[in-house]
């Protein structure tokens, strides 16, 4: 597989994957190392303590995985508040099929049906990154302080395991690895590099993939943004600002919210930053109106409005935001 790299093409080599397990569900339920009481004492879970004590006091000494699994079986969405945004996906277990590339490092890529899906960097070793990282989702990875990106990518690999391929481009110098990854992601915009599974319908097609090249599609189709603008006029945000929010700096958050399966979600500011791929501004950390929309331009609040969501709760001190699709 060849990808454009400066004034030349970088030749990525195929590194076959071996799938050991697939379609693994409720992995979070296997986490038994802490009780619920122990977990809510940790900083990232303290925002859940009041509700946990008020409504679930009888479960405080339960292993947290068992507690959350029982909530899920009762269709109680509170269990999702303990997990990262991708902590209840369907996973698989995979590893590099042979050791030829395991000790090397550099850039790697996933393709699906010959189309580029993801580019990543590896400064330790490909073997460690795959076998001990993306390829194995431990129960703890599913939680707020776990590995959201690992969960997300693993679930996508599981979903496309019949057609996904892994490729490597060995490099040596750390600074060159970092620069090359940034350059390729910026230029090619692989769909899995944002925090939601976009359909691979019009992606950039690598040279040498055997697929007919197609034009790169926009991340957000204008018709989607226009519909969101029309539906949200009651929020007193201009159509222009909504379109800019849906297609601008916070388009990743707009897309993530549109495809989130539940009607409520609680996110830490750190998780919001992971999804958006950018640091939150001082305004977001200090001024509640910033989250509610209504400003001029493509702000985070306008992206929330454009996606059809509302602010349910905001804790600036605890750095958490609760969002809902239900208008208050």
Question: Cα angle at 131 between 5 and 176, to 5 degrees?
Answer: 25
Please report the pLDDT score of residue 260 as a whole number.
Answer: 77
Please report the pLDDT score of residue 15 as a whole number.
Answer: 94
Between CA 175 and CA 106 the distance in angstroms is 11
Spatial neighbors of 318 by CB under 8 A, at least 6 apart, are: 46, 47
Please report the pLDDT score of residue 63 as a whole number.
Answer: 96
Q: Extract the runs of DSSP E, i.e. beta strands, from 138-220.
A: 164-170
Q: Judging by DSSP bridges, how do beta strands 310-315 and 320-324 pair with one another?
A: antiparallel
Please report the pLDDT score of residue 137 as a whole number.
Answer: 96
Find out whether 177 and 103 touch, Cβ atoms under 8 Å.
no
Write phi, then psi, for 18 (nearest 5 degrees): -115, 120
Find out whether 182 and 189 touch, Cβ atoms under 8 Å.
no
Please report the pLDDT score of residue 246 as a whole number.
Answer: 60
Which domains does the chain possess? Answer: 2-24+90-193 (3.40.1440.40), 27-82 (no CATH), 222-324 (no CATH)
Task: Report CA-CA distances (Å) from 126 to 123, 169, 179, 290.
Answer: 8, 10, 18, 41
Write phi, then psi, for 261 (nearest 5 degrees): -75, -20
Chain centroid to CA 122: how far? 18
The tens place of each residue's pLDDT in the chain, 328 residues long, gives: 888 877 788 899 999 999 999 999 999 999 999 999 999 999 889 889 999 999 999 999 999 999 999 999 999 999 999 998 889 999 999 999 988 889 999 999 999 998 999 999 998 899 999 998 899 999 999 999 898 889 999 999 999 999 999 999 999 998 888 888 888 887 888 888 764 433 333 344 555 554 433 333 323 233 333 333 333 334 455 555 556 656 667 778 887 887 777 778 888 888 888 888 777 888 788 888 778 766 555 578 878 887 788 888 888 888 888 888 765 4
């Amino acid at each position: 597989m060849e990808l454009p790299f400066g004034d030349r093409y970088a030749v990525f080599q195929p590194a076959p994957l071996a799938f050991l397990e697939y379609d693994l569900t409720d992995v979070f339920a296997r986490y038994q190392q802490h009780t619920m009481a122990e977990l809510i004492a940790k900083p990232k879970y303290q925002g859940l303590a009041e509700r946990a004590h008020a409504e679930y006091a009888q479960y405080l000494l339960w292993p947290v995985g068992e507690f959350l699994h029982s909530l899920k079986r009762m269709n109680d969405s509170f269990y999702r508040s303990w997990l990262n945004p991708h902590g209840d996906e369907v996973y698989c277990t995979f590893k590099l099929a042979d050791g030829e590339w395991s000790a090397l490092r550099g850039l790697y890529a996933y393709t699906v049906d010959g189309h580029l899906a993801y580019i990543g960097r590896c400064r330790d070793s490909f073997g460690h990154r795959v076998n001990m990282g993306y390829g194995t989702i431990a129960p703890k990875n599913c939680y707020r302080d776990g590995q959201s990106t690992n969960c997300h990518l693993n679930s996508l690999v599981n979903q496309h395991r019949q057609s996904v391929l892994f490729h490597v481009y060995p490099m040596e110098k750390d600074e060159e690895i970092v620069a090359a990854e940034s350059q390729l992601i910026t230029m090619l915009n692989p769909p899995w590099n944002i925090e939601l599974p976009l359909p691979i319908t019009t992606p950039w097609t690598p040279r040498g993939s055997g697929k007919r090249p197609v034009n790169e599609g926009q991340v957000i189709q204008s018709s989607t943004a226009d519909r969101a603008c029309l539906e949200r006029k009651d929020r007193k945000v201009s159509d222009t600002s909504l379109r800019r929010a849906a297609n601008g700096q916070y388009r990743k958050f707009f897309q993530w919210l549109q495809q989130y399966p539940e009607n409520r979600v609680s996110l830490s500011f750190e998780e919001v930053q992971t999804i958006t791929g950018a640091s939150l501004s001082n305004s977001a950390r200090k001024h509640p109106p910033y989250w509610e929309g209504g400003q001029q331009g493509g702000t985070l609040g306008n992206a929330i409005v454009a996606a059809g969501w509302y602010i349910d709760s905001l804790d600036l001190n605890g750095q958490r935001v609760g969002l809902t699709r239900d208008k208050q």
